[in-house]
Structure 1
Amino acid sequence: MRKYETIFILHPTFEEEVVKASIEKFKGVIENGGGTIDNVDFWGKRKLAYEISKVNDGYYTLINFTAGPELPRELDRIFRITDGVLRHIIVKEEK
């Protein structure tokens, strides 16, 4: 098992319950894939460093998790096909 962290940005027009449901969806993907969630840090709505598709704000969330090496690929796939995810990144934490 390896330690990873992912940060993703959701579209700013989402209602708060849609944002929470999206976070729960991604947590579910991690847990159902055999991973364990270490920490979830919701940063709220923040200004983007640069405009993405004519959008200047987004809801930022950071999730630290432990999983096998195949789970990040599946999580990346889910991020890519989910509407409203502006950007995402998954990084393996160094020891």
Structure 2
Amino acid sequence: MIIIDQDVDDVVGKGIITKAKEMIEAEGGTVPTVDHWGRRRFAYQINHKSEGVYSVLEIVTQAPNLDEIDRFLRLADEVVRHKIYRLPDSEATKRGLLTPAS
């Protein structure tokens, strides 16, 4: 999940998502879905902001490949917060992200 600053232009915000997707694909991973949730209100203020633009990316890659994308998102001024979750294998298989082991 990536939360972009509410004051950032839409083109710049989509550019951050595109750059993240390109970085994952360059490392041999895939991004099967990108779900844009749009502008949402925070439960509490973050950096004196009350809203952000949410996007959720489903990523299929090896764990060491996430280090570079994590660093990029931490350093990007436009990104308010980001979080990388690992789905349990059963859930990833159900969503079609993993093939079942034989």
Percent of matched pairs sharing the same residue: 34
Q: What TM-score results when the alignment is normalised by the length of structure 2?
A: 0.83
| Corresponding position: 1:74 with 2:68 | yes
Question: Aligned to 2:41, what secondary structure does the other structure show?
Answer: strand
Q: Which protein, 1 or 2, shows the higher relative CO under an 8 Å CA cutoff with sep ≥ 6?
A: 1
Question: Aligned to 1:92, what secondary structure does the other structure show?
Answer: coil
Unaligned runs of 5+ in 1: 1-6
- RMSD of aligned C-alpha atoms? 0.9
Question: Aligned to 1:50, what secondary structure does the other structure show?
Answer: strand
What's the offset of the Cα at 1:26?
A: 0.8
What's the offset of the Cα at 1:88?
A: 0.5
Structure 2 letter corresponding to 1:93: L
- What count of residue pairs does the alignment treat as equivalent? 89
Distance 1:41 1:49 in 2: 21
Residues 1-95 of structure 1 aligned to structure 2 (within 5 Å) = 7-95=1-89
From the two aligned structures, give the one with the greater helix fraction: 2
- 1:26-80 Cα offsets, whole Å, 9 max, x none, are 1111111111111100111111121101000001000001001111222111111
Unaligned runs of 5+ in 2: 90-102
Q: What TM-score results when the alignment is normalised by the length of structure 1?
A: 0.89
